[in-house]
């Protein structure tokens, strides 16, 4: 993946050159890419993802994009939902997440293809958004656990997938059943790498799995069976 950065006024944009170019692409890299209302006015918004981020699904003909603005959670969100302290462009959450996702994508790991990250600087603070390619037909593991009987083979593949990411050194700080997607071919994917990072092996791997276990317990009535299958898949790939 070839990443390029550009500046337009108070916007800083990092994008995949193969997805966007200044000359040939129908949507060129620029602030308009991150304007959800503009996409709505053009009639190209096909839906929204659940959650506080107000992510939009955008129709681009041959594929769909997911436009995700960055939003704070927790108590701090009551004071400031969209703005973050400016510490330099490479330390913005959007640039860091896009670069990390691109690195995982280049390793052949099952992640959405990143398209662009946009950062709008406003003095000492900034706002940001990220665009990735939508995984066609995918549903969150949380939804599958809530609506369907336990598919042991699928759950084992989920465990194997997590082990692959851990082997790469990825510490996914928000590993939960909503951030694992299952596509139409029952292939698991991992999403949402905000604040994640590469690390040497350590306690964080167990922490990831424990966080996932707490999430599974919220959505499945067969928690023990689900976790046993995921653990078996994880162990087989470790």
Domain residue ranges in the chain: 3-133, 139-237
Say if pTM beats, i.e. exceeds, 0.85: yes
174 catalytic? Reply is yes
Q: Which of 148, 142, 111 is nearest to 212 (CA)?
A: 142
Q: Which of 227, 215, 213, 210 is nearest to 150 (CA)?
A: 227
Confidence category of residue 225, pLDDT binned at 50, 70, 90: very high
Tell me the average pLDDT across 31-53. 88
The helix/strand/coil state of 170 is: strand
Report pLDDT for 204. Answer: 98
Nearest 5°: CA angle at 194, between 207 and 143? 70
Report pLDDT for 19. Answer: 84
Architecture of domain 139-237: Orthogonal Bundle (1.10)
- In the chain, pLDDT over 90 holds for what percent of residues? 81
Average pLDDT, the chain: 92
Tell me the average pLDDT across 83-105. 97
The tokens describing 93, both together, are 């959450």
Phi–psi pair at 171, nearest 5 degrees:
-95, 100
Tell me the per-residue pLDDT of 110-135, one tens digit each, with 9 for 90 and over.
Answer: 999 999 999 999 999 999 999 999 99
Return the residue matching tokens 């108590």.
Answer: 75
Catalytic residue among 35, 59, 151, 174: 174
Which segments of the chain are extended strands (E)? 3-8, 11-16, 45-48, 56-59, 64-69, 84-85, 114-122, 125-133, 139-140, 170-171, 180-182, 188-190, 197-198
Instruction: Tell which wins on pLDDT, 96 or 82.
Output: 96
Tell me the per-residue pLDDT of 176-217, one tens digit each, with 9 for 90 and over.
Answer: 999 999 999 999 999 999 999 999 999 999 999 999 999 999
CA distances from 113 to 24, 108, 150 (A): 19, 10, 29
Q: Does 41 score more than 70 pLDDT?
A: yes
Instruction: Tell which wins on pLDDT, 133 or 53.
Output: 133
Confidence category of residue 53, pLDDT binned at 50, 70, 90: low
Q: Does 148 score more than 80 pLDDT?
A: no
């Amino acid at each position: 993946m070839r990443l390029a950065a550009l500046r337009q006024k108070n916007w800083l944009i990092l994008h995949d050159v193969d997805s966007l170019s200044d000359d040939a692409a129908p949507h060129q890299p620029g602030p308009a890419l991150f304007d959800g209302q503009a996409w709505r006015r053009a009639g190209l918004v096909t839906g929204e993802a659940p959650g506080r981020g107000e992510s939009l699904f955008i129709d681009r003909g041959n594929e769909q994009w997911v436009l995700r603005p960055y939003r704070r959670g927790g108590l701090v969100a009551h004071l400031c939902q969209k703005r973050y302290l400016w510490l330099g462009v490479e330390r913005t959450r959007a640039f860091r997440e896009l670069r990390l996702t691109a690195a995982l994508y280049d390793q052949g790991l099952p992640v959405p293809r990143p398209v662009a990250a946009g950062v709008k600087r406003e003095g000492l603070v900034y706002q940001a958004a990220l665009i990735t390619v939508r995984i066609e037909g995918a549903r969150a593991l949380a939804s599958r656990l809530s609506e369907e009987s336990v598919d042991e083979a699928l759950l084992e593949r989920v465990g194997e997938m997590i082990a692959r990411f851990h082997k790469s050194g990825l510490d996914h700080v928000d590993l939960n059943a909503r951030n694992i997607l299952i596509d139409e071919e029952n292939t698991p994917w991992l999403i949402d790498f905000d604040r994640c990072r590469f690390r040497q092996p350590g306690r964080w791997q167990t922490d990831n799995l424990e966080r996932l276990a707490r999430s599974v317990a919220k959505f499945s009535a067969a928690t023990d069976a689900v976790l046993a299958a995921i653990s078996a898949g994880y162990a087989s790939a470790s």
